[in-house]
Amino acid sequence: MTVTDIAGRSDTLVIGMVAFAHLLSHFYQMALASLVPLLRDEFTVSYTALGFVVSLMYGVSGVCQAFVGILVDRHGADRLMLFGVVTMASAVFLMGFATEYWMLLPLAVMAAFGNCVFHPADLSILSEKVSPARIGRAFGLHGLGGTIGYFMSPVIILNLALFAGWRVALMTAGAFGIIAAVVIFSKRSVLQMPRGSDDNAPQETPSVDFYRQLVTSLPLMAAFFYFAMIAAAGTGGIQQFSVAALIELYDSPVAIAGMALTAYLGASACGIVVGGECADRFPHHALIATTGLAMGALFMGSIAIFDMPMPVIIGMMAGAGFFIGTTGPSRDILIRGATPPGATGKVFGFVYSGLDLGSATGPILFGWLMDGGQFRFVFVAVAVMYLFAILSVMQLKRGARTATAAAD
């Protein structure tokens, strides 16, 4: 067996374990969402109250994620990733025992503490452990794992709930995560990261000055802005309101309008895989990312401007999802290139916290548009956000070869 074969097998195992952990994080993020009707009847509370549980988790996760990279760089990303799986799984398991609504709130905070570690930990492991020739595919499969987690969660948890009750569904899902953590722990020798990976920095503990330099770094703030735009458009606009907007615009049956969203998400998963291959084969990562965003904006803008049959709209949603999916791996490579040595966890943690900002603020804008009857502007707003994200990629490109912040 050649050295290349051994390296390839090691890369495959690392990528598989990290993508599996990312799948679990997204699986647990959606655990309560699919049970909202059942929980509303169980606890006799409003949809707003149940939505607050999810918002609380994302809010706490976003704040913590911006700084948890310090722990990732100091104590080893593999340890933090395992902590995230165990903590989220335990929180979901304990939710199955809740007898009052208020009991869900501290468990949502507990889940947030687990969720906040995944992006800085996962991407640090991939950056350090995977061969450069495969890093694009590694980032792509990492994103694909999260997308699959989103798909699996409502299907598995809701069907379990309908068969055995929502408590059994949550406890079963949580128990599976604990078992999965044991599997990941058994592979710790492959995933192991050095404790204190930022020891080459001038000081062991990053000071306030590090974050001051980070927020004044145009490339890295562009990455933060990119994630905020993508999350606001994708999570806040497409996932939450595209189905309702299509129903209002075309009087479409719910099942047909839902197919458009399914097409978007499914094609996005395919685009991530293709984007990973492109990122490894072609060095022009900024071009790949900007082309994907431009095509996504074109498809969404067309849906907003033209009256078209639903089959065509479904095709355009799929096209938009595919091209947006292709941007992810190249984007992560650009961020990696703009990251100072020894600060991978801190930087990825900070820029990825833009996802939580977009996820929290996007629904407000799109809900306001829907309430005002501006259904076409839902798709206009998504297209505009994709165009703004292009500006972020161009700024990120300028800093991709040189780290513009230094860890103290």
Q: For residue 9, what is the domain's CATH number?
A: 1.20.1250.20
Q: Domain total for the chain?
A: 2
Average pLDDT for residues 333-349, to the nearest whole number? 74
Domain end: 194, 225, 258, which one?
Answer: 194
Residue 354, pLDDT > 60, answer: yes
**Domain co-membership, 164 together with 234:** no
With 0-12 CB in 10 A as exposed, 13-18 as middle and 19+ as buried, what is 81? buried
Instruction: Please report, in angstroms and rounded to a whole number, the separation of the first and last CA atoms in the chain.
Output: 43
pLDDT digits 0-9 by tens, 168-221: 999 999 999 999 999 989 887 778 766 554 444 444 445 567 677 777 778 888
On whether residue 359 sits in a domain, the answer given is yes
Q: Identify the weakest region by mean pLDDT among 118-122, 175-179, 196-200, 239-243.
A: 196-200
The answer to whether 389 and 358 have CB atoms below 8 angstroms apart is no
**How far apart are alpha carbons 256 and 275 in whole angstroms?**
28
On whether residue 216 sits in a domain, the answer given is yes
On whether residue 408 sits in a domain, the answer given is no
**Domain co-membership, 214 together with 162:** no
**Domain co-membership, 225 together with 150:** no
**Domain co-membership, 24 together with 97:** yes
User: Which of 5-14, 79-88, 234-243, 273-282 is predicted most confidently?
Assistant: 79-88
More confident residue, 207 or 347: 347
**Domain co-membership, 151 together with 41:** yes
Residue 109 is predicted with a pLDDT of 94
**Domain co-membership, 215 together with 163:** no
Tell me, what amino acid is at 278?
C
pLDDT digits 0-9 by tens, 262-289: 888 889 889 988 998 888 888 888 899 9
More confident residue, 52 or 295: 295
**Domain co-membership, 128 together with 267:** no
Domain ranges, residue 110: 3-194
Domain end: 194, 225, 250, which one?
Answer: 194
**How far apart are alpha carbons 157 and 171 in whole angstroms?**
10
Residue 333 is predicted with a pLDDT of 82
Tell me the pTM.
Answer: 0.74
**Domain co-membership, 19 together with 162:** yes
On whether residue 47 sits in a domain, the answer given is yes
